[in-house]
Amino acid sequence: MRLTFILASLAALSSISHAASFDCSKSPEKPAERMICQSDSLSTLDGQLAVAFKAAIKGAGADASVNDVLKSSQQRWLRYTRDACKNVQCMEKAYVSRIAFLLQWNEDAPADNKADGNYHYSHNMDFANGTHAVVEDCLNIKSAGNGQAQVNTILVQSNGHNCSLNGKFAVAGNTYTYLPGKGENEVQNCQVKLTAKRHHIILSAVGEGCASRCGAQASLANGAGFLRTDRAKQACVAD
């Protein structure tokens, strides 16, 4: 069923775009882009990729953290996969695979033990004081049985403070929902959940108590996103 959907989507994209997503008349400097301009099939695929990328961004809605993860992933794909190809065949294969990835971006996935692991997301941060740095958010998920999972996360905020949360989450469908413990009155006013997607996991939170596990002026409500391919051996470690 999924393969049929992807093939149908690729066919639909082929009727939308027939040219590269960039201006070939400006003599691109990258060898990969020159190769695209010299190939009708690659030009078509590049245009289809642009359409699929825009659709994935639109499908994610206004969630900036999720879109940042997708944009970062796209830049890495361009640099380390597409631009590493030395011939048309390699690039065609890379494009078809990436377009399928983008078409699946907003597709739900089960919140089961296949999502267990340590996720690290490195990204550029513009701090409120005007400085810049590469920071790392992290997320650990471990199934605990009986429809629950143990989750630990540390998120770096733009004011330099962290948000951290470690506890039990109820598991249902493609969603993990935080279960506040006894005495956690403030956190009870914050609904924290993880949403499992085919290629990423979204952390979102709403409520007045979402700053209770954070440094000054920081909040879990700012959310976060993690690529499911960005797994690491090391779990979250507080500074």
Domains identified in the chain and CATH numbers? 2-103 (no CATH), 113-232 (2.40.128)
What gap in Å lies between CA 64 and CA 225, rounded to an integer? 9
What gap in Å lies between CA 148 and CA 150, rounded to an integer? 7
**Is it the case that residue 50 has pLDDT exceeding 70?**
yes
Q: CB of 213 within 8 A of CB of 187?
A: yes
Least confident of 12-16, 45-49, 101-105, 183-187: 12-16
Give the SS3 label for residue 173.
coil
Considering only residues 170 and 125, tell me which one the structure prediction assigns the higher pLDDT.
170
Confidence of residue 6 (pLDDT cuts 50, 70, 90): very low
Give the SS3 label for residue 22.
coil
Q: CB of 179 within 8 A of CB of 167?
A: yes
pLDDT above 70 covers a percentage of the chain that reads 88
pLDDT of the residue at 9: 52
Residue 78 is encoded by which pair of tokens?
């361009």
| pTM, rounded to two decimals | 0.85
DSSP state of 146: T
